[in-house]
A = this chain, B = another copy of it.
């Protein structure tokens, strides 16, 4: 019988499953569109259910449609859970989310193939609506799964397209409104394999990211109101140019991030001026500022510095402004021991690795409050994601899935108290 530390995943089978899933909602030019709770999401879930049944997993679906498939352990204790999500953005790739679910499935298959029993049960999960594109908030399923937010609040959320359909209605329609209440599932520990969705691993030629935390995220909308006047006839000292204050704020955000240093990043990806004409100052302008930092205090400080600057800019131009706090996610720390396991396993497998934060949000951050949790990153070519050109090399998928397999085995077979 094979030694557990010599077990490796079957990359042909894993890539085959990724492709088969990727055919559901495939886009003409490549990539995939499987928005949460659409017919395509249902078809993806149905395929996963079929695969889970082939493995004779105990399938449980909760009231928010989170799907868990459990493989028995020797002991009747909470399972080690591997999971991610099958839903995608409108122009998604094959890997974001799907890799984490299907790598878990591949591990189930390998364990069965080699008839390997584990102390603890192993489970895989597909969390509902991680992307938050069709319904907000994002990470909806894992947020309720862990009991952080009541499922009832999520079930009444309506589609952002204004059609008025709710999460609850759409779950029922596609047949994935389960009976199990959210927040009741006990988990031993949680692992999520994911593509980096950033350029660092590829830039630095590193195989594996041992993800030690998720950056804190602040999204703040600012609406500036000034006065529309003629670009030729209004002297500078009489201007109340809302567009200027918006532009100066966006420019400051980069300076702020550079000045803060550390992991601080800051982005203004959205700027809108009204009336947005060549020869009149904007009467109104809207921007959303995205600030992220691994350090909660530094992030709060960056936000304070931003607000102080906006006060100055607005006062100088006699501009009124309104602020809306859209997102306030503090940084989430993952479990040090599991991160160390991921590093050790990578080392043992001969893969280069680095400890790193996640710049994006993931289901794992919602599991972290209820069980020891960590993530494994593999490189994204060009750092591209949420894009039909999203791509991760076959060899990197293989390495990531092998680290997931070996880390899971160590968690599954830890001595019970």
CA distance A144 to B250 in the complex (A): 44
Which residues from 225 to 255 on chain A have a C-beta closer than 8 Å to any C-beta of chain B?
228-236, 238, 241, 243-244, 246-248, 250-251, 254
Question: Interface stretch among A149-157, A267-275, A340-348?
Answer: A267-275
Q: Which of B247, B258, B271, B359 contacts A230 (CB 8 A)?
A: B359
Which residues from 278 to 301 on chain A have a C-beta closer than 8 Å to any C-beta of chain B?
278-282, 288, 290, 292
A269 in contact with B243 (CB, 8 Å): yes
Closest B residue by C-beta to A387 = B228
Which residues from 199 to 232 on chain A have a C-beta closer than 8 Å to any C-beta of chain B?
199-200, 203, 215, 217, 219, 228-232
Shortest distance between the CB of A58 and any CB in chain B (Å): 36
Q: Which residues of B contact A269 (CB under 8 A)?
A: 231, 243, 273, 275-282
Q: Which residues of B contact A238 (CB under 8 A)?
A: 199, 203, 383
Closest B residue by C-beta to A233 = B198
B236 in contact with A280 (CB, 8 Å): no
Q: Which residues of B contact A257 (CB under 8 A)?
A: 236
Closest B residue by C-beta to A263 = B235
CA distance A290 to B384 in the complex (A): 36
A84 within 8 A of B: no
Closest B residue by C-beta to A285 = B271
Q: Which residues of B contact A129 (CB under 8 A)?
A: none
Q: Which residues of B contact A243 (CB under 8 A)?
A: 250, 268-269, 271
A373 within 8 A of B: no
Instruction: Please give the count of copies of this chain that the complex contains.
Output: 2
A197 within 8 A of B: yes
CA distance A198 to B229 in the complex (A): 8
A278 in contact with B270 (CB, 8 Å): yes
Q: Which residues of B contact A199 (CB under 8 A)?
A: 229, 233-235, 238
Q: Which residues of B contact A268 (CB under 8 A)?
A: 243-244, 247
CA distance A231 to B366 in the complex (A): 20
**Interface of chain A, main secondary structure:** mixed
Q: Which of B196, B231, B234, B247 contacts A247 (CB 8 A)?
A: B247
B258 in contact with A278 (CB, 8 Å): no
A148 within 8 A of B: no
A354 within 8 A of B: no
B276 in contact with A232 (CB, 8 Å): no
A271 in contact with B247 (CB, 8 Å): yes
CA distance A11 to B278 in the complex (A): 36
A265 within 8 A of B: yes
Q: Which residues of B contact A246 (CB under 8 A)?
A: 247, 271
Shortest distance between the CB of A391 and any CB in chain B (Å): 15
B273 in contact with A271 (CB, 8 Å): yes
Shortest distance between the CB of A382 and any CB in chain B (Å): 9
Q: Which residues of B contact A234 (CB under 8 A)?
A: 198-199, 265, 359, 383
B241 in contact with A247 (CB, 8 Å): no
A267 in contact with B197 (CB, 8 Å): no
Once A247-B250, A247-B251, A254-B244 are accepted as A-B contacts, the answer to whether A270 and B265 lie under 8 Å apart by CB is no
A8 within 8 A of B: no
A160 within 8 A of B: no
A232 in contact with B385 (CB, 8 Å): no
Q: Which residues of B contact A384 (CB under 8 A)?
A: 229
Closest B residue by C-beta to A291 = B231
With A199-B235, A229-B383, A233-B359 given, can you name 9 additional A-B contacts, CB distance below 8 Å? A230-B359, A233-B358, A241-B254, A243-B269, A244-B250, A246-B271, A267-B281, A269-B273, A271-B273
Taking Cβ atoms with an 8 Å cutoff, the residues of A that contact B are 196-200, 203, 215, 217, 219, 228-236, 238, 241, 243-244, 246-248, 250-251, 254, 257-258, 265, 267-273, 275-282, 288, 290, 292, 326, 358-361, 383-387
The 5 A-B residue pairs with the shortest CB-CB distance, nearest first, are A198-B233, A232-B359, A233-B359, A247-B250, A231-B267
Q: List 13 A-B contacts (CB under 8 A).
A: A199-B234, A200-B233, A200-B235, A203-B238, A219-B278, A219-B279, A230-B383, A232-B361, A244-B251, A246-B271, A267-B280, A270-B273, A271-B271
